[in-house]
Amino acid sequence: MYGGGYNQQPYGQPPNQYGAPQGQYGAPANQYGAPPANQYGAPPSQYGAPPAQYGSPPTQYGSPPANQYGAPPAGAYGAAPTQYGAAQTQYGAPAHNQYGSPPTQYGAPQGQYGAPAQSYGAPAQQPYGQQQYGQTQYGQQQQHYGATQAYNPPGQYGNPAGGYQAQPAFTPSAGGPRFLGVQIPAPPPAPPLANLPNYNAQFDADRIRKATKGFGTDENTVINTLMPLDAFQVDVLSRTYEQQTGRSLKTTIEKEMSSWLEYICRLKSLGPLGGDLWLLNRACKGAGTHEDLLNEVLLCRSNEEIFLLKEGYRRQFNKDLVAVVRGELSMKTERMFNMALSGTRDENPIVNHQQVQQDIDTLYRAGPGKIGTDEIGICGILLQRSNQHLQAIANGFPQRHRVTLSKMIESEFSGHMRDGLLHIARFAEADGNGVHRDAMLLEAAMAGMGTKDERLCYRLCRMHWDRQRFALVKNQYRQMYSRDLVSRVKGETSGKYENALVALITQN
């Protein structure tokens, strides 16, 4: 008998069906499925590695023939209302994997049956801290980070009563996660980068420590050190600085600086993902809601970016981002952001032109073509179609109905929903990549009486990470307003705050 623990009869020939009522899975000793003095799946010899694989009849273990225990009637395995066993755990596998579909084949040598997949984002079989800059193997482990389904243990914040909340899977970006148009370091629990080629984080950390030590602060040194860095360099600098001083770089900036200079330096020090998480928390914290921030951080995002935001928010603030945003909004605006946070956009770059024409007709019938407006019908198209598809809609809508998509939205909507849908429509219009829209947003932060400093800070900082695209935005701004962006910013700001913004715009 296999493993010496099943001495009643051979597998497949118990007195009753496998898993008969008198002995449940995980029953006391001497019952089928409970090897003595060992957990199921860990007998003295590794479960699943005998000379002949356990349970290797014509069908593979995990796909029993019809009428075997656990085979749901008239449906795919696992399609029953509840999974085999309790609602919170699945037969022989971690809660985040479907029964019979562990990350590796049953009985694979690297782990015992039921062992969890490799950590999210961790490079496979690579020593801690030895990833090469820009070459992390994020997303290449046994189970892609985008396919994770486990959220919180039962009873934790935001967890449904029946068990784990499913997260839609997506295809991770090649080479590592991408956020705001650039590759970023894999977030925890992936091992952090220890160093980078051609970048001396120790030197920069020491410069900032000396500039903020003692009486007074050399703000220009901090600005000149921090602003030229990319996402990976900021990440390594932040870790190195905390190792040297015992205090985070963010805390040092908060203590040594003030006003909008502190704001822009802190946002830069957090990196692309960390900065957006901080902005989301700021948008939903306290009385009132910062609607512009919600629009710009959550709309027009890829499925990968939505996943990273939700996971990062839960990890950093121990809250469910969907529940937090829902608590800030109401009625159909809440439903619009629920669609955005679902992370299920069509991301196929190939445009189906027949579907484009159907969507154009649907948008018209839901708006100008009827009495009243079908807000959810319009949101369903604008929030779920790919960027390429939306660009085709934006180009085709005025040809068919003699009004631009953004003008139609302005006439049919009002308030926060109008601003959110305009943010999407203007992304698709003109260049189809939001460059024209972003140039307009920068000017809007400086136009009129007074400067909208917060909007200017977070718009410049969020745009500057993708340097190639930011160059297009600066060129578009010059074409639209016949003025260089640097000179425009200098005319609206002063002092060290001006130096920091100019350093962002002119960084190499």
Q: What is the pLDDT of residues 385-400, one digit of tens each?
A: 999 999 999 999 999 9
Question: What value, to the nearest 5°, has the Cα angle with vertex 368 and ends 334 and 330?
Answer: 10
Mean pLDDT on 344-354: 92
> Which pLDDT score is estimated for 166?
41
Q: Residue 423 domain-assigned?
A: yes
Q: Are 190 and 140 in contact (CB under 8 A)?
A: no
Question: In the structure, what pLDDT confidence band is assigned to residue 262 with cuts at 50, 70 and 90?
Answer: very high
Predicted model pTM = 0.69
- For residues 242 and 279, state if they share a domain: no
- For residues 415 and 360, state if they share a domain: yes
Which of residues 14, 39, 68 is at a domain's end? 68
- For residues 357 and 325, state if they share a domain: no
> Which pLDDT score is estimated for 57?
42
Q: Residue 384 domain-assigned?
A: yes
Which of residues 285, 308, 341 is at a domain's end? 341
- For residues 335 and 357, state if they share a domain: no
Domain residues for 55? 1-68
Residue 293: Cβ within 10 Å count? 19
Distance of CA 324 to the CA centre of its chain: 16
Q: Residue 486 domain-assigned?
A: yes
> What is the residue-wise DSSP string for 284-328?
HSSSS--HHHHHHHHTT--HHHHHHHHHHHHHHHSS-HHHHHHHH
- For residues 399 and 499, state if they share a domain: yes
Contacts 24+ apart (CB under 8 A), 296-302: 296/423, 296/441, 296/458, 296/459, 296/462, 298/325, 298/337, 298/340, 298/341, 299/340, 299/383, 299/420, 299/423, 299/424, 300/387, 300/423, 300/424, 300/427, 300/434, 301/340, 302/178, 302/345, 302/347
As beta bridge partners, residue 196 has: 199
Mean pLDDT on 167-192: 82
> Which pLDDT score is estimated for 169?
56
> What is the residue-wise DSSP string for 51-106?
SS-TT-SSSPTTSPPTTSTT--TTS-TT-SSS-SSSSS-BTTB-TTS-TT--SS-T
pLDDT tens per residue across span 5-62:
334 444 344 444 444 344 443 434 444 344 444 443 444 444 344 444 434 444 443 4
Contacts 24+ apart (CB under 8 A), 247-255: 249/208, 252/208, 252/212, 253/222, 255/212
- For residues 365 and 316, state if they share a domain: no
Q: Residue 107 domain-assigned?
A: no
Backbone angles phi, psi at 93, to 5 degrees: -140, 155
> Which pLDDT score is estimated for 508?
58
Which of residues 257, 281, 305 is at a domain's end? 257
H or E element that contains 50: none
- For residues 247 and 379, state if they share a domain: no
Q: Are 405 and 393 in contact (CB under 8 A)?
A: yes
Q: Is the pLDDT of residue 87 over 60?
A: no
CA atoms in the 13 A half-sphere facing the CB of 353: 2
Q: Is the pLDDT of residue 142 over 90?
A: no
Mean pLDDT on 476-482: 96
Residue 392 in tokens: 């085709």
> Which pLDDT score is estimated for 395?
94
- For residues 502 and 358, state if they share a domain: yes
Q: Residue 186 domain-assigned?
A: no
Give me the sign of the Cα torsion angle 72, 74, 78, 82. negative
Q: Residue 5 domain-assigned?
A: yes
Dihedral angle, C-alpha 102, 187, 461, 421, nearest 10 °:
30
CA distance 339 to 345: 9
Residue 487 in tokens: 């000179």
pLDDT tens per residue across span 400-442:
988 999 999 999 898 899 999 999 999 999 888 999 999 999 9
- For residues 309 and 415, state if they share a domain: no
Q: Is the pLDDT of residue 185 over 70?
A: yes
**Which residues are CB-neighbours of 490 under 8 A, at least 6 positions away?**
498, 502
Distance of CA 278 to the CA centre of its chain: 14
- For residues 298 and 210, state if they share a domain: no
> Which pLDDT score is estimated for 150?
36
Q: What share of the chain in percent tops pLDDT 70?
A: 66
Residue 335 in tokens: 């439903």
Mean pLDDT on 67-71: 40
pLDDT tens per residue across span 297-330:
999 999 999 999 999 999 999 999 999 999 999 8
Residue 313: Cβ within 10 Å count? 21
The number of folded domains in the chain is 4
Residue with tokens 């945003």: 325
- For residues 494 and 446, state if they share a domain: yes
Residue (of 394, 388, 396, 385) closest to 357 by Cα position: 396
- For residues 251 and 382, state if they share a domain: no
Average pLDDT, the chain: 75
Q: Residue 41 domain-assigned?
A: yes
Q: Residue 170 domain-assigned?
A: no
Residue 276: Cβ within 10 Å count? 26
The identity of residue 70, as a single letter, is G
Residue 501 in tokens: 């913004």
Length of the chain: 508
Residue 294, domain CATH: 1.10.220.10
